[in-house]
Amino acid sequence: MSKLKGLILTEGMHGMISQSFGLAKALDLDFFHEKIELNNFWSFVPPKFTPIKKFVFKNEIKEDFDIIISCGRKSVIPSIYLKKNSKKKVFNIHIQNPKVKLGNFDIIIAPQHDNLIGDNVIESKGAIHYLTLDEIEENGHYLSNRTDAQKEIATLILGGPNKYYKYSKKNIENIFSLIDQNFISKNFQLIVIPSIRTPKNIIQLAKNSFKKNHLVIEHVDKKAYLSGLNLAKYIIVTCDSSSMISEAA
């Protein structure tokens, strides 16, 4: 029996892709991904005030699909439109609070902190994601030859600024100071892993702060990320990303 075909709609951010791909893999779908681009000023209009029309988004989706998994504000209207205008019955799932009538979706998966209640709502503890323990273990060796086998490892996962959290130099220096007091002073080796949102000046600040005895990854590197998770006795994650916190957990 052939697999169901899945269409993933996101804004292209790591957290959204991780959640959507994780669900698609768990459902064993044959899936493809579309990064949604909205037209003109519709990028600035909340979904509840946006018409369910094709002119809202630019994407031309020609492949067939049975299930839509959407995540993020920009994907809400395209998901509803594509479901309503399909020539066959399509099942759509939205991850996070869509902030429109819940009945527009067959299932909504929302973290507990969204406090979203509805007959078609499934609560998650933290953010769902695509990482597996097997994948983490398989990549453990990737950084092992660059670490000191005589030291225990603490891994710092850095996110980036968003509308809730500013990456000021003072704030980051305070975090680095706490890591120095709680881990480096106790003979831990530190691995620093950036994300796609981590500002370059913060990566440079980490290099200046932790010097050559520690490992600062300068670019986004999934294998390094997985290896850092695997090698660490302790994982420190900045509080701006529920996806990274959930992946670490």
Q: Which domains are assigned to the chain?
A: 5-124 (3.40.50), 133-248 (3.40.50.2000)
Look at phi and psi of residue 12 and say left if phi exceeds 0, alpha if psi is from -120 to 50, else beta.
left
Select from 90, 33, 89, 84 the least CA-distant residue to 61.
33
pTM as predicted: 0.82
> Positive or negative, the Cα torsion across 79, 120, 244, 144?
negative
- pLDDT of 78 > 80? The answer is yes
Select from 181, 191, 173 the least CA-distant residue to 236.
191
pLDDT (tens digit, 9 = 90+) per residue, 228-238?
Answer: 999 999 999 99
pLDDT (tens digit, 9 = 90+) per residue, 8-62?
Answer: 999 998 889 989 999 999 999 999 999 999 998 999 999 999 999 999 999 999 9
